[in-house]
Copies of this chain bind each other. A is one copy, B any other.
Amino acid sequence: MVKNDMTAQNLRSAYAGESMAYQRYKVWGQKADEEGFENVALLFDAIAYAEEVHAGNHFAAHDNVEGDFLVAGGGEFGLGTTSENLVGAIEGEEGEVEQMYPTYSIVAKEQGESDAVRSFHYALEAEQIHAKLFRNAKEHVDNGEDIELEYVTICEVCGHTVVDGLPDKCPVCGEPSSAFRKFTK
């Protein structure tokens, strides 16, 4: 639950941002598939699910505040080539890593909002990995090649994202490997 309006507003904004990220990754994933980058498509699809986990966590941390709100959230737009879409993906993730989650986190800490602190922390940890994965994907796509990838696992509790591996225990939230959802071709 959330007690202070500033943190509540940040949770709503982050929820809007994650919600929009999910949808554009679904669209950009389809585009990657059409262009023959099936592993980039898989990456978009799996990371979309990580954003769903983040959106759900923010929504749950905001559980006691009910009703209709006009929410301001940041989103990347444009449906271009996969190389162009990856630029948007990288910029979105880097904006979350460098500005949104660090500032929302210190505000939540200042206000003693433990659920929001945890929810923002989980997201920040995952977005750093996402930014790195998308930067790598862009390099490959710009060389006209797909990325190497067999499967992706995503922690259903925190959105931690692992390429071609399944940890015994989530390094971010501590859940066992059974909490990971596997995305394959």
Contact = CB atoms under 8 A, between A and B. Distances in A.
A36 interface: no
Given A19-B22, A68-B92, 19 more contacts: A15-B75, A16-B16, A16-B20, A19-B20, A19-B23, A20-B71, A23-B55, A23-B59, A59-B77, A62-B78, A63-B78, A66-B77, A67-B76, A67-B78, A67-B88, A68-B74, A68-B77, A69-B74, A71-B74
Interface string A58-99: 011011111111111111111110001000100110010000
Contacts of A66: 77-78, 80, 84, 88
Interface string A114-130: 00000000000000000
Given A19-B20, A23-B19, A59 B79 contact: yes
A52 B24 CA distance: 10
Contacts of A55: 23
Contacts of A95: 68
Interface string A7-29: 00000100110111011101100
A contact residues, range? 35 or more
Nearest to A71: B75
A24 B59 contact: yes
Interface of A: 12, 15-16, 18-20, 22-24, 26-27, 52, 55-56, 59-60, 62-80, 84, 88, 91-92, 95
10 contacts: A15-B20, A19-B22, A23-B52, A60-B79, A63-B78, A64-B78, A66-B84, A67-B78, A68-B92, A70-B74
A139 to B, nearest CB: 20
A83 to B, nearest CB: 12
A-B pairs, top 8 by smallest CB distance, nearest first, are A66-B78, A63-B79, A19-B19, A23-B55, A19-B23, A19-B20, A27-B56, A71-B75
